[in-house]
Amino acid sequence: MNLVSADVGRIDHMPFDDRSAVDVKHPWCNVFCHPNKYLAGRSSANFVIDRTIYSASVGANMLPLGRKPRKVPHTIANSDIDTNFHTFIMEYWTIVLSIVAVILAIYYYSSRKDSNVFQKHGIPHVKEYFLLERIWKLFIRPKSFADMIKEMYNVHSDAKYIGAFDFTRLIVVIRDPELIKFVAIKHFDAFPDHLFFGNETQDPLFGTNLLALRGDKWRDIRTLLSPAFTASKMRTMFQLISECAVNFSEYLLNVPSDKRVMEMKDIFTRYSNDVIASCAFGIDVDSMRNPENDFYMFGKKASNFGMFALIKILMYQHMPSLIRLFNIKLIDDRTNAFFVNLVADTIRIREEKGITRPDVIQLLMDSRSKREPGRELTILNITSQAFIFFIAGFDSSSTLMSFVAHEIAINPDIQEKLQNEIDKILEDTNGKPSYEAINGMKYLNAVINEALRKYPVQPMTDRVCVKDFELPSTLPNVKPYLVKEGTILFIPIYALQHDPKYFPEPDKFKPERFFDKGDNFNAYYPFGLGPRMCIGNRFALFETRVMLFHLLARCQLKPCEKTSTSVKFQKGGFSMRMKGGFWLSIVPRENAHPTVVKTNQSGQFQISK
């Protein structure tokens, strides 16, 4: 080497230059080449040398003899990081993602036989994206889910339904309210199920609850749970909900003046958490004064449907065999064990001490002795039903409350009307509002219903076709379309409720439109419709009414510097979220009615002093 390459003691920090080129004067300077031939193992040898130099240099300084090391400012490059561990993690995820990408590609391209079915039938449809475009949209999520639903809906303004694609599955998006009732109610037998997103073995809390169950199992549990949400049951739960609402409102009333700017989704989630803990699981929790209690923290963890949870749900729907093979779970074992043990302990204590409460756990406990052999309710069955009730209330109810509070704060005239109605109820009941009094508040109900129209917490609902069914023509000159078994139906709730054909000036918040419901309210489905309609809708509405009643009786909601007057939705995810959060200022009312109430131990309301 010294004989053929000049200045061998110097290494230039520059790109591969002439001294190492193949056609230099002395080609033997490159140990991996011959004037006419490259060494076959050159790439492997280069890799070994590169890897050796890299390994030797990790955590060490390579210097000529007699030279002192130069001090380098502390950065991530010279911090105490276990490089081998991070290399392993990177390699592991590279392998996993590569395998998933290959499987997706094979699965996608082997299932493209129906990709042009809508075009053949003359049905307007959403553009079909290539696999990489779909994956990019899944991970980058350039739009909110509500905006994506609205974009689908607007593909053709006159069509009764349009076509779309979900990777390899066909989707029919129903646009016509009459056709929606036709398939979701009249022909429920052909479209009885929701998309599946759980596994009974690996994820029993998700896989065995009412939302995930199908067929006779669903009917059995639906019949069992329905009595928990009747008007009479709501009346018995009124006291439990009121205690949570008064406790919540009194806390906010006494917050120091420098801490009155709050993120409403966070505090309403805590209120919903306490209500569900009391009404479903039979335990008392105060998540405002004890913000890191186990029930709230485990619930927050279980209901966090971020990117990885979304990927898992898609894998459940498209590649269930991989879910079983790799034992992938939506919630971890520790969270699962917390809820199961909580229910088991609650049942044991109640049975030992003869305790009864007007809650969901008690309803399921009482029904156990009435079940036929083979249909017994296990602790896991009871837990899964209470769990999905919790998940729905934890996120959906708090989202509804957040949007209502936002509209009340930026519309002071609406807030004033509400507080006048609340004060009148307090006056008429001598500070002891009843279930009937709060439930019958016309303007409060209109405000909540308008919030559900403008911001449905469920932007769409779905149905799965279980037997071939012929839909009528989507357009006058198009033939009827035969929906095949396994096809998905989307009911675009958000888009329908923002269609000016049904709701004039849809972007305006107008509670008065609910004073006199007309025919256009056939397009109003904030909780779905038909037998698969949300079973807990009455409960969600009532806990929202009670909370708003007690909060607005004591406090005023005002915009703050962080409040956004023009609502923009957060990108990604299935739920409705406001970009930047729901920030408001909560201050005590200056003109609060003298009979603002508190709850005493006897369950009655008394005038506060």
Q: Could you tell me which of 445, 522, 536, 448 has the C-alpha nearest to residue 491? A: 522
pTM of this prediction? 0.79
Q: What is the pLDDT of residues 115-130, one digit of tens each?
A: 688 989 999 998 866 5
Name the least confident of 15-24, 81-90, 238-247, 470-479: 15-24
Return the pLDDT at 574.
74
d(CA 573, CA 248): 29
- Of 353, 350, 356, 347, give the one whose Cα is nearest residue 382: 347
Name the residue among 265, 147, 245 with its Cα closest to residue 562.
265
In a domain, 338, yes or no: yes
In degrees, rounded to 5, the angle at the alpha carbon of residue 399 between the alpha carbons of residues 410 and 587 is: 45
CA geometry: angle at 335 spanning 331 and 341, to 5°? 135
Query: At residue 65, does pLDDT exceed 70?
Result: no
Per-residue pLDDT tens over the stretch 262-316: 999 999 999 999 999 999 888 899 999 999 999 999 988 888 776 677 777 777 7
Question: In this model, does residue 66 exceed pLDDT 70?
Answer: no
pLDDT higher than 90, residue 156: yes
Residues facing 261 on adjacent strands: 585
Q: 367: which 2 tokens? A: 């029904």
* pLDDT of amino acid 529: 94
DSSP class of residue 230? S
535-593 pLDDT, tens per residue? 989 999 999 999 999 999 999 999 999 998 888 898 876 778 898 999 999 999 988 88
Asked if 324 and 202 touch (Cβ cutoff 8 Å), the reply is yes
Secondary structure of residue 202 in the 3-state scheme: coil
Burial class (CB within 10 angstroms; exposed 0-12, middle 13-18, buried 19+) of 97:
exposed
Q: Is residue 467 part of a domain?
A: no
Question: Is 164 a domain residue?
Answer: no
Place of tokens 């919030």: 451
**Across residues 133-159, what is the average pLDDT?**
80
Average pLDDT, the chain: 80
Please give the angle made by the CA atoms of 341, 342 and 345, to the nearest 5 degrees: 80
More confident residue, 60 or 442: 442
pLDDT, mean of residues 418-430: 95
| Residue 522 in domain | no
Query: Poorest-confidence range of 75-79, 252-256, 318-322, 536-540?
Result: 75-79
pLDDT at 87: 55
pLDDT of 82 higher than 60: no
| Top mean-pLDDT range of 102-111, 133-142, 147-156 | 147-156
Percent of the chain with pLDDT over 70: 74
What is each CA distance from 450 to 446, 497, 538, in whole angstroms?
6, 10, 16
Nearest to 438 by CA among 246, 225, 228: 246
Rounded Cα gap, residues 465 and 481, in angstroms: 13
* 23 vs 18: CA distance, rounded Å: 9
Cα 242 to Cα 226: distance, rounded to the nearest angstrom: 22
DSSP state of 113: G
> What is the predicted pLDDT for the residue at 58?
47
Runs of H (alpha helix) within 13-130: 42-57, 83-109, 117-121
Residue 249: HSE in the Cβ half-sphere, 13 Å Cα cutoff: 25
Question: Whole-angstrom Cα distance, residue 83 to residue 224?
Answer: 55
For residue 391, CA distances in Å to 24, 204, 305, 431, 538 come to: 71, 14, 11, 33, 16
Q: What is the pLDDT of residue 594?
A: 85
* Window from 47-61, 84-98, 273-287, 590-604 with minimum mean pLDDT: 47-61
Check whether 136 has a pLDDT greater than 70: no
Q: What is the pLDDT of residues 322-376, one digit of tens each?
A: 777 777 788 888 988 999 999 999 999 998 988 888 888 888 888 877 777 767 7
pLDDT for 261 equals: 96
**133 or 482, greater pLDDT:** 482
Is-contact 607 592, C-beta < 8 A?
no
Q: Nearest CA to 461 among 86, 126, 174? A: 174
Domain carrying residue 591 = 204-398+543-601
578 strand-pairing partners: 569
DSSP 159-195: -SEEEEEETTEEEEEE--HHHHHIIIIITGGGS-BPP
pLDDT band at 32 (very low <50, low <70, confident <90, very high): very low
| Cα separation, 197 vs 203, whole angstroms | 10
Q: Above pLDDT 90, what percent of the chain?
A: 45
- Is there a domain that residue 263 lies in? yes
Exposed e or buried b for every residue in 162-201, given b needs 16+ CB within 10 A? bbbbebbbbbbbbbbbebbbbbbeeeeebbbbbbbbbbee
Q: Domain containing 386 — which CATH number?
A: 1.10.630.10
**214 within some domain:** yes
At 29, is the pLDDT very low, low, confident or very high (cuts 50, 70, 90)?
A: very low
Residue 214: CA atoms inside 13 Å, Cβ hemisphere, count? 17
Task: Classify residue 233: in a domain, yes or no.
Answer: yes
Asked if the structure places residue 52 within a domain, the reply is: no
Task: State the pLDDT at residue 208.
Answer: 86
Q: How confident is the model at residue 74 (pLDDT cuts 50, 70, 90)?
A: very low
Residue 381 has pLDDT above 90, yes or no: no
534 is in an annotated binding site: yes
Which pair of structure tokens corresponds to residue 516?
A: 């006199």
pLDDT digits (tens, 9 = 90+) for 462-515: 999 999 999 999 999 999 999 999 999 999 999 999 999 999 999 999 999 998
Name which of 78-82, 170-174, 267-271, 574-578 the model is least confident about.
78-82
Phi, psi of 93 (to 5 degrees): -70, -30
Domain count of the chain?
A: 1
